[in-house]
């Protein structure tokens, strides 16, 4: 583990604004502003925002199960880390992530996630990641209370407690069989995930650019720029490098970063490397 | 080469992360300040507003701090006050609880008392009911008693009427009794006069016969019935049982009749047979309630007087065997009683008094306070009919005149004087004292004429008797060894000692010499009466 990189990644924050749009007779209260860690979830942040809104004595109490969240006109995914949502928002630097809290009936594609559900999803992600890395050997050997401990350290923003347990998942006896990585293409499409090894057949490390290129290969064929390349391998790589930026934790990851390094130091607490594809 | 490249990549990533952090620094600080302001707004409860001016916010904060300090002071003051109130309230609560417990205990006690009182009330109500029932019953009884009372009142009136009638009858009967008594007295006097005439006639005849037979009598000693001198007894004619106990006194009533007095409270009258070999009982005079001590006989009136230990003297008529009078007033046994004058009785008692009684009214005429126990009394002495002599425990013989309350004279002997006897002419008195001597005293000069004693002569009881013979020729006394000692009156010589046949140790208690001059009766403690001739 690279302590310095991990620490800076853990301490990254994003500005968020919650705006209540209930249309009450006395008007809506002022928005709620806060700085949230990148690794947290909207499922954890929403209760605090509602508490702030309910402080007004003359307003109607807003309950958690009566609201839904909207972001840029589409329902927000409450189970995705805030950092990933922020990277996908295509916003300029120094801008605030604006989330609308609505009290109208929610649309069909919105899924309310409370804290208990979020906890279960978090632990499921860790097990899935471990399955890719060690075929779930580490998580199966854990004590009953250790996975909930990871969740508690995420909720309480406790770096040392988290890494005291997460070290088992990152420093295994063998090399990772596959690397847990999810790539979020633009235009609000679902993320892509497949079995990506850490090394090439010739023994050299696979880079992040290569992994993303492998994950995005079908889309490369569909793009018009793919017909311009003369050599398939070198042409495809150069094309991606020219046209797209790999964003993770708010920064552009260099193409030639070894994938194993990214898996061990740039992962989110759920042990996945979330990379957002952004066009230039 | 790979290592160097990895380091380069790592440094690039760090650089980009730092650059990103610096870009967000302004927004971060702004939002952090916003959160603080929001918190302050919430605490101070003011309207929300976005304040950009830090100085204004700082000034407001200082004012708020001052206000808050003041509020805190007030709050602390209120807190201390509330704490004190709490302490007071707790104390009051404790007091109230203790008072509550006290009141509860008192209530429990009072409840118990109420229970007890209720029980008592129930019991008292039951008692009241019972008392009401009892009251009804008593009222019924009262009504019945009132009726009975009225009935008895009427009966009482009837009985009073009857009593009045009976009192009238009693008065009539008493008058009749008085008349009968008077008639009795008249008859007695007539009878006495007849007896005197007969005696005179018999004496005249005897004298004639005596004169004619005087010479033959001397020639023939067997025929001695008509000698007029005392003859010393020579043989025992008979012995008989006269009483069931001691025979305390014996008295000749005539030549052939005598009376005995015993400790069995009876007086018996006996008649000697013609041949002088026994005596038969004529009658028994009863009425006394204790042993009889002394007898006295009046031949003219045919009455016999007895003194008894039952504190009384009684008078009987011998022929009719009827109790005439009872003289009671002494407070101790009456030792002796004598017929006195013509209608009186003189009695001496162990209560140290001598009383004079009237026979007719049975009243005590006089009491003489002597101060010493009286043993014997004799009358018919001296030159006057008013004289009597008494013998006492204090060794004295007292001479009395019934007309004065004090004794005229007293003679002191050697020991207590147990018996007295007067001579035929009344001028001498014989006294027996416990020092085993007999004294002959002249009534006129109060001098001792003679002393009689013997070597074996012994007195052993207070009732030892000494008597004169019928003519006064001899004096004799009974001794403790069942012997009778006979002295010559003038010469004081011991003439004879008469002994009983068995030489028993019975005390001779009483003696009597036949008026005819021949015949001595001696009675002792063992019911026995002996006749010597």
pLDDT in tens, B324-368: 888 888 888 888 898 887 778 889 988 888 988 888 887 788 788
Q: Which residues of chain A have pLDDT under 50?
A: 219-238, 241-242
| Partner-chain residue, chosen from A8, A96, A261, that has the shortest CB–CB distance to B17 | A8
Co-location of B167 and B250 in the same domain: no
Which pLDDT does position B128 carry in this prediction? 92
Stretch B462-487: mean pLDDT, rounded?
80
Co-location of A187 and A152 in the same domain: no
Residue of A nearest to B46 (CA): A56
Q: Do A13 and B32 touch (CB under 8 A)?
A: no
Q: How far apart are CA B372 and CA B392, in angstroms?
A: 6
Structure-token pair, residue B267: 């007086």
**Size of chain B, expressed as the number of residues it contains:** 533
CA distance B88 to chain A (A): 37
- With contacts defined as CB-CB under 8 Å, which chain A residues touch B12? 254
Q: What are phi and psi of B68, to 5 degrees?
A: -65, -35
- With contacts defined as CB-CB under 8 Å, which chain B residues touch A96? 27
Co-location of A150 and A196 in the same domain: no
In a domain, B30, yes or no: yes
Residue of B nearest to A37 (CA): B28
Residue B28 scores a pLDDT above 60: yes
Q: Which helix (H) or strand (E) segment is B187 a member of?
A: helix B54-219
- Closest by CA to A39, choosing from A151, A188, A193, A182, is A151
Which pLDDT does position A224 carry in this prediction? 43
What are the distances in angstroms from CA A149 to CA A136, A153, A154, A185?
18, 6, 9, 32
Co-location of A217 and A236 in the same domain: yes
- The dihedral formed by the CA atoms of B51, B54, B56 and B58, expressed in degrees to the nearest 10: 120
Handedness of CA B281, B286, B292, B295 (dihedral sign): negative
Stretch B86-104: mean pLDDT, rounded?
87
In a domain, B224, yes or no: no
Contact between B512 and B272 under an 8 Å Cβ cutoff? The reply is no
Tell me the per-residue pLDDT of B41-66, one tens digit each, with 9 for 90 and over. Answer: 767 754 444 444 455 556 677 777 89
| Partner-chain residue, chosen from A35, A253, A256, that has the shortest CB–CB distance to B28 | A35
In a domain, A23, yes or no: yes
Residue B116 scores a pLDDT above 60: yes
Q: Which helix (H) or strand (E) segment is B470 a member of?
A: none
Contact between B351 and B372 under an 8 Å Cβ cutoff? The reply is no
CA distance B79 to chain A (A): 28
Which 8-state DSSP code applies to residue A227? G
Q: How far apart are CA B97 and CA B88, in angstroms?
A: 14
Domain boundary among A130, A145, A170: A170
Strand partners, B284: B268
Which pLDDT does position A219 carry in this prediction? 47
In a domain, A175, yes or no: no
Domain boundary among A102, A127, A161: A102
In a domain, B210, yes or no: no
Q: How far apart are CA B97 and CA B84, in angstroms?
A: 19
- Closest by CA to B301, choosing from B192, B181, B186, is B192
Q: How far apart are CA B474 and CA B489, in angstroms?
A: 5
Q: For the domain that residue B490 is a member of, what is the CATH number? A: 2.130.10.10
| DSSP 3-state of A16 | strand
The residues on B that touch A, with CB distances below 8 Å, are 2, 5-6, 9-10, 12-14, 16-21, 23-24, 26-28, 31-32, 34-35, 38, 42, 48
- With contacts defined as CB-CB under 8 Å, which chain A residues touch B18? 8
Which pLDDT does position A146 carry in this prediction? 78
Co-location of A275 and A195 in the same domain: yes
Average pLDDT, chain B: 80
Residue of A nearest to B27 (CA): A94
Stretch B263-272: mean pLDDT, rounded?
84
- With contacts defined as CB-CB under 8 Å, which chain B residues touch A33? 31, 34-35
Q: How far apart are CA B264 and CA B259, in angstroms?
A: 14
For chain B, percent of residues with pLDDT exceeding 90: 5
Q: For the domain that residue A134 is a member of, what is the CATH number? A: 1.10.246.190
Domain boundary among B119, B153, B172: B172
CA distance A173 to chain B (A): 21
Q: Do A256 and B34 touch (CB under 8 A)?
A: no
Domain boundary among B147, B172, B197: B172
Residue linked to tokens 């162990």: B350
Which pLDDT does position B94 carry in this prediction? 94
- Quickly state the pLDDT bin for B115 (edges 50, 70, 90): very high
In a domain, B330, yes or no: yes
Q: Do A15 and B21 touch (CB under 8 A)?
A: no
Co-location of B372 and B451 in the same domain: yes
- Quickly state the pLDDT bin for B224 (edges 50, 70, 90): very low
Co-location of B270 and B401 in the same domain: yes
- Identify the weakest region by mean pLDDT among B143-152, B221-230, B389-398: B221-230
Domain boundary among B130, B151, B172: B172
Residues in Cβ contact with B456 at an 8 Å cutoff, skipping those fewer than 6 apart: B479, B481, B483, B497
Q: How far apart are CA B313 and CA B345, in angstroms?
A: 9
Contact between B377 and B398 under an 8 Å Cβ cutoff? The reply is no
Co-location of B385 and B514 in the same domain: yes
What are the distances in angstroms from CA B191 to CA B185, B258, B325?
10, 20, 20
CA distance A65 to chain B (A): 25
3-state SS string over A23-65? Answer: CCCCCCCCCEEEEEECCCEHHHHHHHHHHHHCCCCCCCCCCHH
Co-location of B359 and B493 in the same domain: yes
In a domain, B408, yes or no: yes
Domain boundary among A102, A135, A152: A102
Domain that holds residue A123: 115-170
- Identify the weakest region by mean pLDDT among B36-45, B109-118, B250-259, B299-308: B36-45
Helix-then-strand count for chain B, H and E: 3, 28
CA angle B53, B57, B58 (to 5 degrees): 115
Domain count, chain B: 2
Co-location of A197 and A166 in the same domain: no
Structure-token pair, residue A190: 């679902």
- With contacts defined as CB-CB under 8 Å, which chain B residues touch A34? 31, 35
Residue of A nearest to B15 (CA): A251
Q: Do A205 and B2 touch (CB under 8 A)?
A: yes
Q: Do A12 and B21 touch (CB under 8 A)?
A: yes
What are the distances in angstroms from CA A1 to CA A12, A164, A177?
18, 11, 18
Which pLDDT does position B449 carry in this prediction? 85
In a domain, A64, yes or no: yes
Q: How far apart are CA A238 and CA A222, in angstroms?
A: 16
Co-location of A212 and A140 in the same domain: no
The DSSP bridge pattern shows strands B363-369 and B374-378 to be unpaired
Q: How far apart are CA B204 and CA B186, in angstroms?
A: 27
Residue of A nearest to B47 (CA): A56
Residue B462 scores a pLDDT above 70: no
Which pLDDT does position A150 carry in this prediction? 84
Residue of A nearest to B25 (CA): A94
Which pLDDT does position B144 carry in this prediction? 95
In a domain, B89, yes or no: yes
Which pLDDT does position B204 carry in this prediction? 79
Stretch B69-82: mean pLDDT, rounded?
85
Structure-token pair, residue B366: 């006089």
Co-location of B146 and B260 in the same domain: no
For chain B, percent of residues with pLDDT exceeding 70: 87
In a domain, A108, yes or no: no
Q: Do A34 and B31 touch (CB under 8 A)?
A: yes
State the count of interchain CB pairs (< 8 A) between A and B.
Answer: 62
Residue of A nearest to B42 (CA): A55
Determine how many CB atoms are found less than 10 A away from the CB of residue B143. 10
Contact between B305 and B253 under an 8 Å Cβ cutoff? The reply is no
What are the distances in angstroms from CA B64 to CA B46, B50, B52, B226?
11, 17, 18, 181
Residue B210 scores a pLDDT above 70: no
Which 8-state DSSP code applies to residue B415? S
Q: How far apart are CA B513 and CA B465, in angstroms?
A: 12
Handedness of CA B117, B120, B124, B130 (dihedral sign): positive
Domain count, chain A: 3
Q: For the domain that residue A223 is a member of, what is the CATH number? A: 3.10.20.90
- With contacts defined as CB-CB under 8 Å, which chain B residues touch A57? none
Rg (CA), chain B: 67
Residues in Cβ contact with A81 at an 8 Å cutoff, skipping those fewer than 6 apart: A38, A39, A40, A41, A268, A270, A274
| Partner-chain residue, chosen from A251, A258, A266, that has the shortest CB–CB distance to B20 | A251
**Which of the pair, A242 or B180, is modelled with greater confidence?**
B180
Q: How far apart are CA A180 and CA A270, in angstroms?
A: 10
In a domain, B63, yes or no: no
Domain that holds residue B116: 1-41+71-172
Co-location of A217 and A149 in the same domain: no
Q: Do A55 and B42 touch (CB under 8 A)?
A: yes
Q: How far apart are CA B244 and CA B56, in angstroms?
A: 161
Residue B126 burial class via C-beta count within 10 angstroms: exposed 0-12, middle 13-18, buried 19 and up:
exposed
The residues on A that touch B, with CB distances below 8 Å, are 2, 4-5, 8-9, 12-15, 30, 33-35, 52, 55, 93-94, 96, 205, 249-254, 256-258, 261, 266
Q: What are phi and psi of B125, to 5 degrees?
A: -65, -40
CA distance A97 to chain B (A): 12
Which pLDDT does position B235 carry in this prediction? 73
In a domain, B186, yes or no: no
Q: How far apart are CA B465 and CA B510, in angstroms?
A: 6
- Quickly state the pLDDT bin for B492 (edges 50, 70, 90): confident
Residue B424 scores a pLDDT above 90: no
3-state SS string over B241-310? Answer: ECCCCCEEEEEECCCCEEEEEECCCCEEEEEECCCCCCEEEEEEECCCCCCEEEEEEECCCCEEEEEECC
Determine how many CB atoms are found less than 10 A away from the CB of residue B115. 10
Co-location of B142 and B249 in the same domain: no
Handedness of CA B294, B299, B300, B302 (dihedral sign): positive
**Strands ordered across the beta sheet of B363-369:** B334-340, B344-349, B353-358, B363-369
Which pLDDT does position B502 carry in this prediction? 46
- With contacts defined as CB-CB under 8 Å, which chain B residues touch A256? 5, 9
In a domain, A247, yes or no: yes
In a domain, A160, yes or no: yes
- With contacts defined as CB-CB under 8 Å, which chain A residues touch B27? 15, 94, 96
Q: Do B20 and A55 touch (CB under 8 A)?
A: no
Q: How far apart are CA A246 and CA B87, in angstroms?
A: 71
């Amino acid at each position: 583990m690279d302590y310095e990189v991990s620490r800076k990644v853990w301490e990254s924050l994003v500005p968020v604004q919650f705006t209540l749009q209930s249309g009450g007779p006395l008007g809506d209260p002022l928005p709620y502003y806060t700085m949230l860690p990148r690794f947290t979830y909207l499922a954890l942040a929403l209760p605090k925002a509602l508490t702030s809104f309910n402080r007004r004595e003359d307003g109607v109490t807003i309950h958690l199960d009566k609201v839904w969240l909207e972001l840029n006109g589409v329902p927000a995914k409450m189970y995705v880390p805030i950092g990933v949502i922020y990277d996908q928002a295509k916003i300029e630097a120094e801008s605030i992530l604006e989330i609308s809290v609505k009290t109208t009936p929610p649309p069909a594609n919105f899924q309310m996630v409370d804290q208990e559900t979020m906890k279960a999803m978090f632990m499921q992600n860790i097990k899935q990641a471990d399955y890719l890395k060690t075929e779930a050997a580490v998580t199966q050997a854990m004590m009953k209370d250790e996975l909930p401990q990871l969740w508690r350290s995420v909720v309480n923003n406790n770096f040392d407690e988290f890494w005291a347990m997460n070290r088992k998942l990152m420093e295994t006896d063998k090399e990772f069989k596959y690397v847990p990585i999810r790539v979020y293409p633009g235009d609000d499409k679902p993320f892509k995930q497949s079995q990506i090894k850490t090394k090439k057949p010739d023994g050299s490390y696979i880079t992040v650019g290569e992994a993303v290129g492998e994950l995005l290969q079908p889309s490369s064929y569909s793009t018009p720029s793919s017909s311009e390349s003369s050599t398939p391998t070198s042409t495809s790589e150069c094309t991606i490098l020219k046209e797209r930026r790999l964003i993770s934790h708010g920064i552009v990851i260099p193409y030639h970063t070894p994938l194993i390094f990214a898996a061990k130091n740039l992962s989110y607490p759920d042990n996945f490397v979330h990379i957002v594809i952004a066009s230039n | 080469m790979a290592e160097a490249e990895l380091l380069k990549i790592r440094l690039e990533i760090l650089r980009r992360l730092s650059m990103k952090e610096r870009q967000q620094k302004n927004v971060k600080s702004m939002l952090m300040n916003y959160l603080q302001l929001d918190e302050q707004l919430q605490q101070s409860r003011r309207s929300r507003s976005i304040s950009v001016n830090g100085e204004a916010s700082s000034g407001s904060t200082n004012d708020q701090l001052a206000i808050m300090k003041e509020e805190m002071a007030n709050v602390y003051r209120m807190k201390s006050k509330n704490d004190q109130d709490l302490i007071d309230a707790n104390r009051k609560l404790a007091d109230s609880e203790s008072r509550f417990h006290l009141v509860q205990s008192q209530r429990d006690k009072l409840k118990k008392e109420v229970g007890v009182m209720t029980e008592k009330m129930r019991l008292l109500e039951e008692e009241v009911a019972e008392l009401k029932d009892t009251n009804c019953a008593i009222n019924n009884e009262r009504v019945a008693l009132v009726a009975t009372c009225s009935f008895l009142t009427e009966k009482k009136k009837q009985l009073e009427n009857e009593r009045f009638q009976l009192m009238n009858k009693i008065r009539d009967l008493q008058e009749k009794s008085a008349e009968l008594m008077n008639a009795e007295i008249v008859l007695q006097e007539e009878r006495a006069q007849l007896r005197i005439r007969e005696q005179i006639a018999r004496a005249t005849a005897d004298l004639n016969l005596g004169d004619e037979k005087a010479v033959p009598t001397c020639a023939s000693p067997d025929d001695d019935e008509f000698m007029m001198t005392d003859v010393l007894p020579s043989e025992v004619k008979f012995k008989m049982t006269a009483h069931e106990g001691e025979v305390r006194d014996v008295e000749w009533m005539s030549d052939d009749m005598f009376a005995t007095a015993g400790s069995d409270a009876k007086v018996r009258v006996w008649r000697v047979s013609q041949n002088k070999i026994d005596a038969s009982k004529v009658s028994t005079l009863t009425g006394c309630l204790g042993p009889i001590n002394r007898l006295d006989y009046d031949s003219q009136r045919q009455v016999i007087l007895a003194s008894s230990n039952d504190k009384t003297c009684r008078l009987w008529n011998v022929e009719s065997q009827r109790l005439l009078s009872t003289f009671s007033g002494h407070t101790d046994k009456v030792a002796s009683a004598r017929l006195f004058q013509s209608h009186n009785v003189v009695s001496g008692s162990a209560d140290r008094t001598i009383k004079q009684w009237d026979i007719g009214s049975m009243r005590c005429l006089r009491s003489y306070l002597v101060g010493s126990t009286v043993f014997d009394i004799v009358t018919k002495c001296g030159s006057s009919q008013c004289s009597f002599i008494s013998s006492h425990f204090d060794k004295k013989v007292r001479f009395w005149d019934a007309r004065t309350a004090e004794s005229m004279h007293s003679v002191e002997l050697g020991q207590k004087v147990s018996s007295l006897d007067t001579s035929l002419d009344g001028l001498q008195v014989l006294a027996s004292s416990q020092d085993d001597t007999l004294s002959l005293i002249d009534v006129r000069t109060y001098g001792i004429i003679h002393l009689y004693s013997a070597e074996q002569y012994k007195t052993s009881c207070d009732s030892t008797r000494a008597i004169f013979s019928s003519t006064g020729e001899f004096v004799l006394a009974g001794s403790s060894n069942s012997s009778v000692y006979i002295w010559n009156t003038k010469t004081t010589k011991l003439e004879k000692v008469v002994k009983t046949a068995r030489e028993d140790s019975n005390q001779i208690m009483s003696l009597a010499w036949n008026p005819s001059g021949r015949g001595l009766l001696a009675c002792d403690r063992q019911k026995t009466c002996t006749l010597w001739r």
